[in-house]
């Protein structure tokens, strides 16, 4: 974890030590988290869920300000961070349209970040380039949270994805998780596969040939002794699957539109197909979907993608409270 302004406090009781561990730190990659960290984050997220159910909004982060800086489109990530901050009593500087900010005048990312940290206590950043959050964090004294850096990582999404698995199925231990669709450009699966490698899981990657999981990620996960296999056909692995994680083919990352057209409809999850899956399993999707899960499946109890969005609110509330030292 990248260390910012505050000193570690080893003399504090355990809960406070965990708080000190996250206080003032960046969240850039899932590789910075241990299993212990995840248990702590999920415990705080659970408390946030209960507080929201009981009183909706409370004053834990009153007086704190979040800069929500998005250089790429977003509905869920951006609005869930806004909702998370406001439910904790804080406020938000929303920059969703960088073309209306000084970015359109040619301002560099380091300068934009150094500006925003004068006005805010934490910066959430989505950017089309891999490593943009790490670059921003190098220049910022305040914590930076990576909300997606191109085809790189999307760590807060992976945390909410894992939290969804834990809430819905009890634990990730021993599960077979099948990732379907665009595994090459999908940053959510890059982060989630890495995070799942902390557990005893089987990972199944189903994609068209040109959209396979990057070999360097497979190698990284292989070094942790995780059972991984690659497939073209979903039916080869559907029966053994406990979590089917569906992704959108990332149209905006293709250089040649013809390549996109060739693979865009490669897989469609629909009710008939899901008859051969387990009764006790879940289907997830980071959303937005553009046809890869048929709406006829939405009312199936195994369809967890709408619940997954809600879990994201609690995880992001937990993360904001933690990096601002209030968990
Ligand atoms: C994802 C993203 O932006 O990477 N969406 C999200 O954050 N919920 C997935 C996608 O755009 O397909």
Q: Is the pLDDT of residue 263 over 80?
A: yes
Which two structure tokens, joined as six digits, stand for 61? 């982060």
By alpha-carbon position, which residue is closest to atom 1 of ligand 1? 286
Q: Is the pLDDT of residue 13 over 70?
A: no
Per-residue pLDDT band for 6 (boundaries 50, 70, 90) equals very low
Q: Is the pLDDT of residue 147 over 50?
A: yes
- State if residue 187 touches ligand 1 by the CB under 6 angstroms criterion: yes
pLDDT of residue 2: 47
Q: Is the pLDDT of residue 9 over 80?
A: no
- State if residue 287 touches ligand 1 by the CB under 6 angstroms criterion: yes
CA-to-CA dists, residue 138 to 68, 93, 108, 132, 231, angstroms: 18, 21, 13, 10, 39
- State if residue 148 touches ligand 1 by the CB under 6 angstroms criterion: yes
pLDDT of residue 97: 75
Report the percent of the chain where pLDDT is more than 70: 94
pLDDT of residue 291: 94
- State if residue 326 touches ligand 1 by the CB under 6 angstroms criterion: no
- pLDDT, one tens digit per residue, over 70-104 is 999 999 999 999 999 999 999 999 998 777 677 77
Q: pTM for this structure?
A: 0.94
Lowest-pLDDT range, 107-111, 211-215, 273-277, 314-318? 107-111
Between 316 and 9, the higher pLDDT residue? 316
CB atoms within 10 A of CB 31: 14
By alpha-carbon position, which residue is closest to atom 7 of ligand 1? 77
State the chain's mean pLDDT as an integer.
94
Q: Is the pLDDT of residue 230 over 50?
A: yes
Arithmetic mean of pLDDT, 223-235: 98
State how far the Cα of 2 lies from the Cα of 134, in Å rounded to an integer. Answer: 9
Arithmetic mean of pLDDT, 20-40: 95
Task: For strands 176-180 and 122-127, give the pairing.
Answer: unpaired
pLDDT of residue 21: 84
Arithmetic mean of pLDDT, 290-309: 98
**Ligand 1 center–CA 288 separation, angstroms:** 7
Q: Is the pLDDT of residue 7 over 60?
A: no
- State if residue 157 touches ligand 1 by the CB under 6 angstroms criterion: yes
State how far the Cα of 300 lies from the Cα of 50, in Å rounded to an integer. Answer: 26
State how far the Cα of 51 lies from the Cα of 125, in Å rounded to an integer. Answer: 27
Q: Is 22 helix (H, G, I), strand (E, B) or coil?
A: helix
Q: Is the pLDDT of residue 14 over 70?
A: no
Length of the chain: 327
State how far the Cα of 315 lies from the Cα of 327, in Å rounded to an integer. Answer: 12
- State if residue 316 touches ligand 1 by the CB under 6 angstroms criterion: no
């Amino acid at each position: 974890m990248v260390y910012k302004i505050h000193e570690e406090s080893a003399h504090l009781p355990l809960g406070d030590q965990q708080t000190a561990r996250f206080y003032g730190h960046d969240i850039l990659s899932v590789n910075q988290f241990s299993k212990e960290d995840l248990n702590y984050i999920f415990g705080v997220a659970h408390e946030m869920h209960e507080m929201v159910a009981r009183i909706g909004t409370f004053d834990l982060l009153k007086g704190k300000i979040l800069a929500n800086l998005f250089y790429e489109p977003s509905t869920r990530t951006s609005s869930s961070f806004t909702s998370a901050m406001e439910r904790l009593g804080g406020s938000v500087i929303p920059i969703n349209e960088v073309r209306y900010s000084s970015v359109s005048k040619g301002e560099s990312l380091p300068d934009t970040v150094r500006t925003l940290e004068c006005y805010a206590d934490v910066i959430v950043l989505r950017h089309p380039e891999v490593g943009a959050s790490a670059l921003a964090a190098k220049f910022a004294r305040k914590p930076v949270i990576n909300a997606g850096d191109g085809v790189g990582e999307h760590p807060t999404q992976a945390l909410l994805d894992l939290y969804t698995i834990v809430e819905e199925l009890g634990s990730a231990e021993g599960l077979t998780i099948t990732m379907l669709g665009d595994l090459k450009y999908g940053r959510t699966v890059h982060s989630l596969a890495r995070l799942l490698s902390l557990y005893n899981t089987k990972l199944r990657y189903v994609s068209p040939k040109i959209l396979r999981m990057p070999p360097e990620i497979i190698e990284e996960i292989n070094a942790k002794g995780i059972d991984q296999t690659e497939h073209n056909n979903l039916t080869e692995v559907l029966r053994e699957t406990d979590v089917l994680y569906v992704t959108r083919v990332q149209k905006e990352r293709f250089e040649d539109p013809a390549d996109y057209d060739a693979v865009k409809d490669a897989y469609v999850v629909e009710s008939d197909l899901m008859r051969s899956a387990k009764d006790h399993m879940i289907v997830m999707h980071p959303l937005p979907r553009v046809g890869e899960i048929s709406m006829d499946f939405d009312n199936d109890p195994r369809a967890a993608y709408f619940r997954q969005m809600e879990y994201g609110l609690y995880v992001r509330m937990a993360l904001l409270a933690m990096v601002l030292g209030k968990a």
